[in-house]
Amino acid sequence: MNLKRTRPVSVAPSCGGVACPAMEELKIFHHPDCNSEKVGESSDCSKTCGTDGYKKTNHEFIRCGGAAVRLHVKYTKIESCNIKQCATEEEKSQPHKDVTAPEVNSNIAADEMQLVESIGNWVPVTQDDLSEYDLQAEVGMQKFQRSL
């Protein structure tokens, strides 16, 4: 994917004025992670038994178009795990242990996300985004949105 930008000269330099900088710029954008969905490793389960254990898995969804990343969504999916009868009362009353899933390594650096000088921010995914990209809603979904 390539993006070419050209600018016309409005007024030619005169009386010692300086010529305009490059009138044509080319940005070549090829990235191996375009148009992919990556799923990271799952965390351990928060409990060994019972009905409310959970594990976390990080996901990353990347779509490219034109000459830049158009949609970059990161979210953590939380699923039930170890749903089974506890053998003892002590096991049954165990507290949840803190679990964290490893990050997904997409290899897309922030400066590759767009073709402007400013970067942007992570913002919540909207219902329109879910519809447009045919995604299932998950708690905590965010997308990268460039600064205007």
Does residue 148 form part of some domain?
no
For the residues of 48-90, what is the DSSP string, one character each? SSBS--EEEEEEEEEEEETTEEEEEEEEEEEEE---B--SSHH
Residue 99: closest CA among 61, 52, 62, 142: 52
Does residue 70 form part of some domain?
yes
The whole-angstrom distance between residue 43's C-alpha and the CA centroid of its chain comes to: 19
Does residue 16 form part of some domain?
no
Does residue 15 form part of some domain?
no
114/106 Cα distance (integer angstroms): 15
Does residue 34 form part of some domain?
yes
Q: Which residues of 116-137 are buried (b: 16+ CB within 10 A; e: fewer)?
A: eeeebeeeebeeebeeeeebee
pLDDT value of position 117: 37
Domain that holds residue 96: 2-7+21-142
- pTM comes to 0.55
Residue 106: closest CA among 72, 146, 70: 72
The total domain count for the chain is 1
Does residue 61 form part of some domain?
yes
The answer to whether residues 120 and 72 touch, using CB atoms and an 8 Å cutoff, is no
Mean pLDDT by 10 residues, the chain (148 residues): 71 83 70 82 94 92 70 88 92 92 73 48 85 84 73
Does residue 76 form part of some domain?
yes
- Joined together, the tokens standing for residue 107 give 């290899």
148/146 Cα distance (integer angstroms): 6
Does residue 13 form part of some domain?
no
pLDDT value of position 97: 92
